[in-house]
Structure 1
Amino acid sequence: MAQHAAESVAEANREAELRIAGYESTKEELSALRTAATSPDRTVTVVAGAAGSVLSVESRPAAVRLSPQVTIRIARV
């Protein structure tokens, strides 16, 4: 009986370790996610990470000719 209990505990530990490894793998995959959004006129592209942090902002030469009001409107898209 005691051996059966020990085997059950060992099996539960193995299953828990597998679940933890799966969670860690999923966490790594999610942290690697990236998404990009480009303004309708294609002058600005922003790349964001999984947590919503801005990773990069790229602008085309035409973007520097935009008024501040237009730039703000594009940034809110």
Structure 2
Amino acid sequence: MITQTMVQPSSWVEGDIQIQKVRGLSLFKFTDGLQARFEALIDRQKADILTSDEAAELAGMMELDRIFTLINARVIADS
């Protein structure tokens, strides 16, 4: 197991996530602002210019994205 520093995914719960209706289902999504930041960090990672603080932020966002993917998949499967 690899130990990795990350920003706690729960830090974005208050204002940076939303529940959006998609085809009658309520799915978890990033707000437009958080999505833009996520994509910017991915671009910086690809360019190999990510700082350690940004790497920790990206790691937390990636974990939150994985959580949302799993929850949304269950919502879709149960519909």
> Which TM-score bucket, shorter chain as reference?
0.3 to 0.5
Q: Select the structure of larger CA radius of gyration.
A: 1
Give me the TM-score of the superposition, normalised by structure 1. Answer: 0.36
Give me the TM-score of the superposition, normalised by structure 2. Answer: 0.35
Q: Flag the structure with higher strand content.
A: 1
Taking CA–CA contacts closer than 8 Å with sequence separation of 6 or more, which of the two structures ends up with the larger relative contact order?
2
